[in-house]
């Protein structure tokens, strides 16, 4: 069964292709500047007999026209069948698109990463007919980013660092750096990374830490994330009351829950101001601001009309 961490490990390259530049530098493979990246179908099925599917396939087109394909596989464990599968993927994609193909394998386990580096040879006895040499990203070569100043320069690389090191002792520090960096990011980035990380970290302690660090507008609806729980509870409570007073009470509770989840201290005076506000527009604005606030005062500046 495909897991959330598995999906996140390769989907981030589709969603945030700017990750390719730092990743290729890590791997020692030159990537021309200003290359255009296109997401292709990962289907490598031939007519009917057997379904085969690569996790992600990107077409990289540098300005000079020397393009290539990048097949990306997320690998959670050793798999003896992968040697033949990867050989097939590379041959099929190259023939279909008429381009050279590189294979990138993403691992979160050091032992699996060492195995995935290959080479994987196919042939008869001592004669090698085909040899596959994957590029590999794993805990041994993906940097641990714990400096928010570095994180803010490359959110995608920091998120990928957190995914790769999600089960390591360094995970909390990486997540803290990412959360801090998102404080100065645009709303779309906050939405994407906050819930992408929660889903991608899977059933780990790191996910619990992330839930406490972040709360924002839902990017992946229907996944049962902290933000959805907060919002839906508030909405349900308000509708059950059937009155504006009930909705205001639910929204003010949501604001306080988001601040608490992010570790923002709320003095008694500020808490009273939030709970006593009955203007739904103001409470909606405060709920949005609570997603990125580092101090409760940031909710009230500039002043908003209250009733």
Residue range 244-272, pLDDT digits in tens: 666 777 778 878 877 876 778 889 888 99
Q: What pLDDT score does 25 carry?
A: 85
Q: What pLDDT score does 133 carry?
A: 94
Q: What pLDDT score does 222 carry?
A: 47
| Within-domain flag for 219 | no
Containing domain of residue 191, as a range?
Answer: 148-213
Let me know whether 19 and 46 are in one domain: yes
Q: What pLDDT score does 65 carry?
A: 77
Q: What pLDDT score does 162 carry?
A: 93
Q: What is the CATH number of the domain that holds 22?
A: 3.40.1350
| Within-domain flag for 142 | no
| Within-domain flag for 307 | no
Q: Which long-range contacts (CB under 8 A, 24 or more apart) does 47-56 make?
A: 52/85, 52/88, 52/89, 52/92, 54/89, 54/93, 55/6, 55/10, 56/10, 56/11, 56/13, 56/14
Domain count along the chain: 3
**Stated pTM of the model:** 0.63
Let me know whether 126 and 196 are in one domain: no
Mean pLDDT of the chain: 80
| Within-domain flag for 271 | yes
**CA triplet 176, 171, 199: central angle to 5 degrees?**
85
Q: Which of 109, 137, 165 is the last residue of a domain?
A: 137
Let me know whether 190 and 259 are in one domain: no
Q: What pLDDT score does 107 carry?
A: 92
Q: Which of 213, 236, 254 is the last residue of a domain?
A: 213
| Within-domain flag for 22 | yes
- Mark the ranges of the chain whose per-residue pLDDT is less than 50: 1-2, 44-51, 216-223, 227-228, 231, 235, 238-239, 242, 304-305, 307
| Within-domain flag for 169 | yes
| Within-domain flag for 221 | no
Let me know whether 16 and 124 are in one domain: yes
How far apart (Å, rounded) are the C-alpha atoms in residues 152 and 159? Answer: 11
Asked whether 86 and 118 are in contact (CB, 8 A), the reply is: no
How far apart (Å, rounded) are the C-alpha atoms in residues 44 and 50? Answer: 9
Let me know whether 44 and 103 are in one domain: yes
Let me know whether 195 and 253 are in one domain: no
Q: What pLDDT score does 103 carry?
A: 93
Let me know whether 107 and 202 are in one domain: no
Q: What pLDDT score does 69 carry?
A: 92
Let me know whether 130 and 196 are in one domain: no
Let me know whether 95 and 152 are in one domain: no
Let me know whether 57 and 105 are in one domain: yes
Q: What pLDDT score does 45 carry?
A: 45
| Within-domain flag for 304 | no
SS3 category, 124: strand
Let me know whether 51 and 130 are in one domain: yes
Q: Which of 93, 117, 137 is the last residue of a domain?
A: 137
Let me know whether 203 and 255 are in one domain: no
């Amino acid at each position: 069964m495909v897991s959330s961490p598995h999906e996140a490990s390769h989907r981030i390259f589709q969603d945030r292709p700017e990750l390719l530049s730092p990743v290729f530098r890590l791997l020692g493979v030159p990537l021309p500047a200003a290359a255009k990246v296109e997401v292709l179908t990962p289907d490598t099925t031939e007519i009917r007999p057997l379904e085969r599917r690569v996790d992600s396939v990107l077409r990289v087109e540098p300005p000079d026209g020397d393009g290539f394909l990048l097949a990306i596989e997320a690998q959670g464990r050793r798999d003896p069948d992968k040697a033949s599968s990867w050989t097939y993927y590379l041959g099929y994609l190259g023939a279909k698109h008429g381009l050279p193909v590189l294979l990138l394998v993403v691992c979160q386990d050091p032992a699996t990463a060492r195995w995935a580096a290959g080479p994987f040879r196919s042939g008869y006895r001592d004669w090698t007919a085909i040899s596959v040499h994957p590029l590999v990203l794993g805990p041994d070569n993906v940097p641990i980013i714990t400096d928010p100043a570095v994180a803010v320069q490359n959110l995608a690389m920091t998120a990928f660092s957190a995914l790769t090191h999600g089960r390591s002792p360094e995970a909390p520090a990486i997540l803290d750096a990412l959360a801090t960096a998102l404080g100065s990011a645009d709303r779309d980035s906050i939405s994407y990374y906050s819930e992408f990380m929660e889903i991608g970290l899977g059933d780990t302690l790191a996910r619990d830490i992330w839930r406490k660090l972040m709360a924002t507008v839902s990017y992946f609806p229907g996944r049962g994330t902290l933000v959805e729980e907060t919002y839906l509870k508030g909405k349900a409570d308000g509708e059950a009351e059937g009155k504006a007073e009930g909705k205001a009470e639910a929204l003010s509770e949501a604001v306080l829950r988001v601040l608490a989840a992010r570790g923002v201290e709320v003095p008694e005076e500020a808490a009273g101001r939030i709970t006593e506000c009955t203007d739904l527009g103001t409470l909606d604005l405060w709920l949005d601001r609570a997603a990125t606030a580092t101090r409760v005062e940031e909710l009230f500046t500039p002043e908003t009309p209250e009733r």
